[in-house]
Structure 1
Amino acid sequence: MTHSKRLAAVACAALLSVPFMASADDAAESPISWEVGAVSDYLFRAASQTDEKPTVQAGLTWTSPVGLYVGTWGSGVDFGPGDPDVEVDFFVGYGFDVSEQVNFDVLLNRYTYPGASELAYNELVTTTTIADTWKVNVSYSNDVWNSGTDGWYYGIGGEWGLPNEFSLSANVGRSTFENGVAEDYTDWGVGVSRGFGIANVSLGYYGADGNGRDNFGKLADNRVVLAVKIAR
């Protein structure tokens, strides 16, 4: 994938692309959690990673009793002719309760692309969860999109219960870049979801501001995304 293609599609641990996590009760029963699912479009910070096409995704995580965890997550991608066709992320992290109302999590994610190893890069992701409702995300890469320059992401999102076991979620984020690798831009999303046992179905509407559309073209147009995932 060329650098210009990288600007048109980026990659897992963001507010719009977080792997579907097992419930706290499941985590207490087993240190291993997993998820499999399908999405109508794989978005990363409002940019399609699959050329606006559906794909399958899967992940596996081991969590220790003290909050340390390691895992991997994968998805199909489509950046144009040739490799890569798959993204595989490897991550290690640690989460702990700051207080009864606040949890802090720090994760180091390695984005890799089999068949295009030169595109791999790292990102440090921090997430602060407040009252089990609000999430504040700050992420940093010293080699964003394998460009050799710094990139930051700042995001805030929330989730609220609705009648009949539905949930409403919303988020907004800001990506900033050094050395003109891309224009700073804002992404946003709003969605509804419902759980059915170990399955979850969500429908969301996502988009980016004018700078985001300048960066990624039609891949950052406003769009509806359907996701169906099973996790345990």
Structure 2
Amino acid sequence: MNHATRCTAAAVLCAALLAPFAASAQDEAESPFSWNITGVSDYVFRGVSQTDENPTGQAGFTYTSPVGLYAGVWGSGVDFGDGSPDVEVDYFIGYGVDVSPNVNFDVMLNHYSYPGASDLAYTELITKTTFAEHYNLTVAYTNDVWNTDTDGWYYAVGGEWALPQEFNLTANVGRSTFEDGIAKDYTDWNVGVNRSFGMVTLGLGYYGTDGNGRDNSGKLADNRVVFTASVGK
């Protein structure tokens, strides 16, 4: 699932488009639309900073049909160095279904795009199975990781648990593997706490990778604390 204080053009555009939905929050129970606008102290994807360890803005919008089909768009600022793209825009379509009272299965096709840098774009198939609402297993595959015509897999297990005073604890461990030696296989992990105040959620997380992750990405894969503030429904 593999990106400088600036609210990117994509985030600003999404925020403008989403404003009417914020104004009609009283209809949220019936609405098939969901949205979020987020500020992060660092955009970390699978243990690696996508913003050169700087803050950025993010925004997303999803439509979910009554039968569980959904589609949406998500945008974030990125910074991969001089001459690199400034924005990541992901387009996704998926389907979620309760296969039993305690198991939910979700499959999604996600296209990672970088306006102005089409040579980085690629598509990934992501499945997530949630057990008893608190535990999840993710398996993702692409045959074109980082637009290199190379197979890449991602496996992760995670969980979320309620804490006193309406706080939540989250934890995740993931493993990225690659064909053809394009990068070293590596493990990433994170643990965090968050709390919602109505439509606003604040979170603090600690992210890291193993030695192979740091060999691949240098300081961008160092252990770090990330603060997140989001509004949405």
**Deviation of the 1:83 alpha carbon:** 3.4
Gaps of 5+ in 1: 1-9, 12-25
- TM-fit CA distance, 1:101: 0.2
Note the alpha carbon deviations across 1:99-143, whole angstroms, 9 max, x for none: 000000000000000000121100000000111100100000000
TM-score (norm 2): 0.88
Q: How does 1:129-208 map to 2 (within 5 A)?
A: 129-208=130-209
How far is 1:194 from its partner?
0.4
Instruction: Give the aligned residue type for 1:97.
Output: D
Tell me the equivalent position of 1:86.
87
Kindly provide the amino acid, as one letter, of the partner of residue 181 in structure 1.
I
Tell me, in whole angstroms, the C-alpha distance in 2 between the residues paired with 1:184 and 1:80: 23
Q: Residue 229 of structure 1 corresponds to which residue in structure 2?
A: 230
Superposed counterparts of 1:207-222, under 5 Å: 207-222=208-223
Counterpart for residue 39 of structure 1? 40
CA deviation after TM superposition for structure 1 residue 28, in Å: 4.5
Letter in 1 for 2:204: L
Pair 170,209 (structure 1): closer, same or farther in 2 beyond 3 Å: same
Deviations 1:166-187 (A, max 9, x none): 0111110000000001000000
Separation in 1, partners of 2:217, 2:146: 13
How far did residue 82 of structure 1 move? Answer: 1.8
> Which residue does 2:114 correspond to in 1?
113
Q: Which residue of 1 aligns with 2:67?
A: 66
1:145-184 CA distances to partner (integer Å, 9 max, x unpaired)? 1111000000000000000000111110000000001000
Gaps of 5+ in 2: 4-26
Local SS of the residue matching 1:216: helix
Supply the distance in 2 between the matched residues of 1:119 and 1:167 (Cα, whole angstroms).
35
Bigger CA drift: 26-35 or 86-95? 26-35
3-state SS, counterpart of residue 29 of structure 1: coil
3-state SS in 2 of match to 1:108: strand
What is the CA-CA distance between 1:49 and the residue it aligns to? Answer: 0.2
Q: Take 2:54 and 2:162, find their aligned partners in 1: how far apart are those partners?
A: 30
In structure 2, relative to structure 1, the CA distance for the partners of 1:193 and 1:113 (3 Å cut) is same
Stretches of 4+ moved more than 4 A in 1?
Answer: none
TM-score w.r.t. length of structure 1: 0.88
- Alpha-carbon offset, residue 27 of structure 1: 6.5
CA distance in 1, matches of 2:218, 2:78: 17
Instruction: Tell me the equivalent position of 1:20.
Output: none
Residues 35-78 of structure 1, C-alpha deviation per residue, up to 9 Å, x if partnerless? Answer: 00100000000000000000000000000000000000000000
**Against the structure 1 CA distance between its residues 27 and 185, is the aligned structure 2 distance closer, same or farther, given a 3 Å change threshold?**
farther
RMSD between superposed Cα atoms in Å: 1.3
Secondary structure, aligned partner of 1:217: helix
Q: SS state of the match for residue 84, structure 1? A: coil
Paired residue total: 210
Cα distance in 2 for residues equivalent to 1:144 and 1:49 = 16
Instruction: Supply the distance in 1 between the matched residues of 2:153 and 2:28 (Cα, whole angstroms).
Output: 31
